[in-house]
Amino acid sequence: MDGLLQFLETNLPWLIQYKYLLLFLGAILEGLNTLVFGGFLASVHKLNVWGTFLLLLIGHSISGYVWYAVGYFAGGKSIDRWVRKDEKGRKIIVKVEEYFHKYSARALVFTKLTFSLTIATLITAGSLKYDLKKFSLFSFLGSVCWVSLTFFIGYFFGQSYKFFLEYIKGFLLFVLFLGGAIALVYIIKLILGSAFIKSLFITDKIKEFSYKIRDGLEEFLSNDKDDDRS
């Protein structure tokens, strides 16, 4: 790690000089990898822990306003160009929009823990001209949850890296632990996203099942009446 920093200081000094600014911009423009990387660097004492966390939280919150603005000024057409060409994606987005109409607060918080649904929900909020004060509150709560999860996973892997660094030296170890932290966050986000999507469709499945039971009972009762008449 120290060798890497020495290399950057020698060849790319601006990366070290503007590290906080770059992390801030990364939190706005990229998100996941930047949040994990920030936690990792803070863990190995290359950055201030709480200062970095707050900086990343602000950056991630600002990104929400960017997508809200896209929806506000471009409307739902921005989503149409993005996913509606794909049938499966179209159905999911329709469900997200329905869910947002019913449970806007939950949608803004929970979808921050998913991949593609985050942007779709933020754009939907903007296209519907959702109350900005409410949006700010619930989007911020979602950012707190997501930044906390990713940052402290990066921090934990950074602590583990420091432990093994006592016995093993080398850049490969740094890549291994940082890559492990990022991979874990991707897996968690995929699981959470899959669970959220399934929850969107479960009500339809319950309704479908109840209709089948109702139709079956009606058919059974009508058959009984026919038997009694005969």
In a domain, 222, yes or no: yes
> Among 1-5, 91-95, 212-216, 217-221, which is the least confidently predicted range?
1-5
pTM for the model: 0.72
pLDDT, mean of residues 177-181: 76
**202 to each of 35, 73, 115, how far by Cα in Å?**
32, 33, 20
Residue 8 has a pLDDT of 52
In a domain, 46, yes or no: yes
Residue carrying the six token digits 């942007």 = 119
Contacts 24+ apart (CB under 8 A), 87-92: 89/116, 92/117, 92/197, 92/200
In a domain, 134, yes or no: no
State the pLDDT confidence band at 127, using cuts at 50, 70 and 90: confident
Residue 60 has a pLDDT of 95
In angstroms, the CA 126 to CA 108 distance is 12
Q: How many domains does the chain have?
A: 1
3-58 pLDDT, tens per residue? 555 555 555 565 667 788 989 999 998 888 889 888 888 887 778 999 999 999 99
Residue 161 has a pLDDT of 67
Residue 55 has a pLDDT of 95
Residue 69 has a pLDDT of 93
In a domain, 135, yes or no: no
- Containing domain of residue 170, as a range? 2-75+143-229
In a domain, 88, yes or no: no
Residue carrying the six token digits 């709480």 = 50
Q: Higher confidence at residue 171 or residue 167?
A: 171
State the pLDDT confidence band at 120, using cuts at 50, 70 and 90: confident
Q: Which of 51-60, 76-85, 124-133, 185-194 has the highest mean pLDDT?
A: 51-60
Mean pLDDT of the chain: 77
In a domain, 112, yes or no: no
Look at residue 188 and tell me whether its pLDDT is greater than 60. Answer: yes
pLDDT, mean of residues 107-118: 82
Residue 114 has a pLDDT of 80
pLDDT, mean of residues 208-223: 58
In a domain, 127, yes or no: no
62-90 pLDDT, tens per residue? 999 999 999 889 876 766 665 556 666 67
In a domain, 92, yes or no: no
Q: Which two tokens stand for residue 171?
A: 């850049």
Q: Which two tokens stand for residue 6?
A: 């020495």
